[in-house]
Structure 1
Amino acid sequence: MTNKRMIKASLLALFSLGAALGVALGDANAQTPASQPSAGGLPARSPFDIPYGMPISLQNANQALQAAEAEAARHGWPEAIAVTDPSGELVAFAKMDDTQNSSPNIALRKAATAARFRRDTRTFYNGFEAGHTYSATLDPSVVASPGGYPLVIGGKIVGAIGCSGGSGDQDADICKAGADALK
C-alpha cells in the first residue's frame, strides 16, 4: 500500500470513528434532559394521609350502596355500584337494570383504586389529563376515571365506593351521594 493510500484509509477511518462518536454522544445527550420534570413538588405532608380504619361493616356498605342507587335512579342513570373494604375487596354490589355490561368490573376497579390509594379516582384522571401518566406505572389496575371515592367513618378510611355506567361526572355524583350517606 502506498503512502497516499494509507493516509487516505487512515483519514477515512478517523472520519468514520468521529461520526460514530458524534452519533453516540448526540444520542446520549438527547436522552439526558437538562433538568428533571417535577414530581409534584414537596408538600409538608402527604395530601392523601387519611389513616385506614377497620373494614366497613355490611350494614354501612349497604347504606352507602342504597344512597348511591337512589341518586342514580333519581336521575335515570343505570349504574353498577361496588363497595369495597380498605384493601379493595368487594363487600356489597348492585347492578341496576339496563347497565352496560362492562360497568360491574369497572365499578369494582374504581372502588379498589380509591380504597388502596386513599384518594378520589378523579385525582388520577386529572393527572392523565395534565400529561402526567406516571401513575400508570404504579399499578396496572389503577383506574384513572372519575367515579371512585374513599369511604370515611370517624376520620378513617373504612372502604371505598365505585360507580360506572354513565359519564365520569355522573359516576362521581352517584359515588358522592353514597359517601355522604356515611357522614
Structure 2
Amino acid sequence: MTLPTSVYSVSLEESLRLLHLCEGSAASRGLSMTFAVVDPSGLPVALHRMDGATPISVELALKKARTSALFRRPTHQVFELVQPGGRLFGLFYEELCPFGGGFPLEISGQTVGALGVSGGTVAQDVEVGLEAISLWLSKA
C-alpha cells in the first residue's frame, strides 16, 4: 500500500511577498499590471491589481497562473503545445490562458503554486514574472 503524498501550497504571506516584488519590477519599467498567485490546483491565493492596470489583466493574470499550475510549466511552453502541430492542438478550456506570463512556483522540486502576470506585452509579462520569482527565491 502506498501512502498519499503531502501537497504543499504557497502561503498567503509568501504570496503577498511575491506580489510586492512583482509590483516593484513592474513599477521600475513604468508599467501598471495585475498579478495572481494560485495554489497547485489552480485556486486563487492572492491577487494584486496596480493602479491603472486594465480590467482584463485581472482575468488574464488568474488564467495564466491557473494554466501554469495545472500544466506545471510556464505558459509560454503551453502556448507551443496548443499551436498547429503541437501535441495539444485544439485544446480549449475557458479557464486557461497559454500566453506568456504564467510561471510555476517550485520549492525543492515541488510545485507549490503558480504566478500569473498580465498588463504589458507578453515579453514584459515574462520579464516581470521572471525577475520577481528570482528575487523571491533568493530570499526564501
Q: Normalising TM by the smaller chain, what interval?
A: 0.7 to 0.9
Specify the code of the residue in structure 2 equivalent to 1:62.
Answer: L
**Preserved contact between residue 52 and residue 86 of structure 1 (Cα < 8 Å):** no
In the alignment, the residues of structure 2 paired with residue 52 and residue 101 of structure 1 have an alpha-carbon distance, to the nearest angstrom, of: 36
**Which of residues 40, 44, 69 in structure 2 aligns to 1:90?**
44
Structure 1 unaligned regions, length at least 5? 1-50
Partner amino acid for 1:98?
Answer: G
| Separation of aligned partners in 2, 1:117 and 1:52 | 19
* Gap regions ≥5 residues in structure 2: none
Within the candidate set 18, 24, 31, 1:64 is matched to 18
Please state how far the C-alpha of 1:132 moved relative to its aligned partner.
2.7
In structure 1, which of residues 110, 119, 128 is the aligned counterpart of residue 64 of structure 2?
110
- The structure where helix makes up a greater share of residues is 1
1:164 positional shift: 0.5
1:173 pairs with 2:127:
yes
Larger RCO (CA within 8 A; separation ≥ 6):
2
* In structure 2, distance between residues paired with 1:77 and 1:178: 14
- Percent of aligned pairs with the same amino acid: 34
- TM-score normalised by structure 2 residue count: 0.85
Name the Cα RMSD after superposition. 2.1
Distance 1:52-1:168 versus aligned 2 partners, 3 A rule: farther
- Kindly indicate whether the alpha-carbon contact (under 8 Å) linking 2:10 and 2:112 is maintained by their aligned counterparts in 1: yes
In the TM superposition, what is the alpha-carbon distance from 1:61 to its structure 2 partner? 0.8
Q: Secondary structure at the match of 1:182?
A: helix
For 2:106, the equivalent position in structure 1 comes to: 152
Normalising by structure 1, what TM-score?
Answer: 0.66
Contact 1:120 1:149 in 2 (8 A): yes
Alignment correspondent of 1:182 = 137
2:55 maps to 101
